[in-house]
Amino acid sequence: MNNHFLPTSKAEMNARGWEQLDIIIVSGDAYIDHPSFSAAIIGRHLESLGYKVGIIAQPDINSEKDFTALGAPRLFFGITSGNMDSMVNHYTAQNKIRTDDAYSPDGKAGLRPNRAVMIYTQKIKTYFKKIPVVIGGIEASLRRIPHFDYWSNTVKDSILCDCKADILVYGAGEIQIAEIAQRIEKNQSLENIRGTVIISANKPENAHELPAFQAVKDKNGYYGMMKSFFEHYLNKTLFMPHQNRFLIHYPPAHAMTTEQLDKVYDLPYKRLPHPMYKGAKIPAFEQIKESITAHRGCFGGCNFCAIGLHQGKAIQSRSEKSIINEITTISEQPYFEGIISDIGGPSANMYRLYCKLKIAETCKKGSCIYPEICPHLETSQEPYRKLLRKALNQPNVKRVYISSGVRFDLALRDINFSKDLAKYYTGGHLKLAPEHVNDRVLQLMFKPKKSVYDEFCQLFTDISHANGKEQYILPYIIVGHPGSTLETGLELAIYLKNNNIKVRQIQEFTPTPMSISTLMYYTELDFATGKKVFVPKGRQIRLQKALAQWFIPENKKYVYEALKELNRLDLLDFFLGEKERKGTV
């Protein structure tokens, strides 16, 4: 296997002596040959299995030439929107168009279409009518069954039904894509592949039936369908009647072994954007070029997060040797300046954690650590602690940071890890994600209670001071989550003000497809109980955000409005001071 970029043109194919590719990947991201980018991972993985693979990156949807540049593949087209859902990539939580795209050269917006998977598939089906199409990636994965679509404010059918691809891959995809390639090559059926969704004329045996799409478009029907989905999808094949055929959802692919994961990350990535970008900066690459993925999966089960639905709940960890080898590779790059910016995953300190009962893939509990940490979960931070120490001691490495975030409830269980975190792996600010401080809101999020967060903050501060370091915790906050009210927004604002925490970036809740929080947003029902839950929208969210960012001058009028609505104008001086208060009246 030659260490070249995967071909993006006929000229690059010719340079390899290839007349035809086996598989062509169409991606909404710029082509960056790095193991943090899905198209590169899948492309390199297929290449390692002996297939000739090319990439069409960010094709102009109005250009037939872009889609036909590599000709017809022998086996299939693989289509992904890239590392982000194209709608999340394009629109803010308030449905305003974003002005940049971190996955495009020079951050330029508009190089991928809305609903990229569907549009790319339609174009490919137009130009190559007989070639199979496989869709995957985060956009397809989280739209694999009927789902609430925030941007149209409707329940949409499975993206597979809408775009008429041949098969949908959900999850990371390496295992499934290899099986699909082998079956297409042998002209075999694509039925019964774990981690996929298909449309078939054959009703599956011993499967659980979900209601047809027409029955789940109203709130009650959608709530019932999603409750049934979460109850059964890990262990059973699901099917849904669809126009005299059946939408069939197979259980998730099995978690990858350490050996399998190592092979994927040890492949000969160039670790650079393709030369066709002529040195243009791609922000997403600049951010992660010196970071390392240590593991996949998350057992946290946060209701607003889709990682568990995509990567799975079981932690899939790389070996220490593979990670250290990658540090050596990074240290040889011309851009390396001695700093490893991150060694982590969805939650960094879940590395090498596992279920002692070995049922992580089938356990129906939504979270292994909420409301309490499961007694069957191995929570030792020692493997991660040793890995970080070894990384820090590698030649040419000056500093190692943890920037992908830690679960503070797990860190509290290991004082030695918490000490190392404060002493060695924090660069002045530690990013944590309490998300809120009101325990009812946290319950609806499936996040630890405020008291747990406060306990860790005190521990981190004490350790930092004991080591002569002035360090701060920078909290990630979500406003507008189902269950949050103006009253809980005020509670959050008072907490931040009392602790002199000025958060410049606050996330407004965005209802992304398939998440439990999105279900609650649409149905206005608590997922756990089925009882009514308040869902803030519009102005209410704006006021919540303004309270949490009381210190921003343009928020002054909104703070006044919120406090007046709450009948708490007595707090004007507390938030704005006497001088600022006079300007609001």
Residues β-bridged to residue 71: none
Given a cut of 90, whether residue 583 has pLDDT beyond it is no
**Euclidean distance between CA atoms 70 and 73, whole angstroms:** 8
Pair of tokens at residue 74: 């022998």
**Euclidean distance between CA atoms 567 and 561, whole angstroms:** 10
One domain, residues 418 and 433? no
Asked if residue 228 is part of any domain, the answer here is no
Q: What backbone torsions phi and psi does residue 435 show, to the nearest 5 degrees?
A: 75, -35
CATH code of 579's domain:
3.30.750.200
Which of 134, 165, 198 lies at the terminal end of a domain, its last residue?
Answer: 198
**Euclidean distance between CA atoms 236 and 251, whole angstroms:** 6
**Euclidean distance between CA atoms 541 and 531, whole angstroms:** 22
- In terms of Cα–Cα distance, which of 288, 307, 317, 306 is closest to 346? 307
- With beta carbons less than 8 A apart as the criterion, state whether 29 and 101 touch: no
pLDDT score of 578: 60
Residues β-bridged to residue 77: 24, 133
Given a cut of 50, whether residue 149 has pLDDT beyond it is yes
Given a cut of 80, whether residue 3 has pLDDT beyond it is no
Give residue-wise pLDDT tens across range 354-388.
999 999 999 999 999 999 999 999 999 999 999 99
Asked if residue 250 is part of any domain, the answer here is no
One domain, residues 129 and 78? yes
The residue written with tokens 């005020």 in the block is 490
Asked if residue 211 is part of any domain, the answer here is no
Give residue-wise pLDDT tens across range 245-285.
999 999 999 999 999 999 999 999 999 999 999 999 999 99
Asked if residue 184 is part of any domain, the answer here is yes
* Domain span holding position 399: 290-422
Q: In the chain, what percentage of residues exceed pLDDT 70?
A: 98
pLDDT score of 579: 59
Pair of tokens at residue 20: 């035809």
Given a cut of 70, whether residue 440 has pLDDT beyond it is yes
CATH code of 145's domain:
3.40.50.280
Pair of tokens at residue 572: 């004007």
- Residue 100's H or E segment, with its range, is none
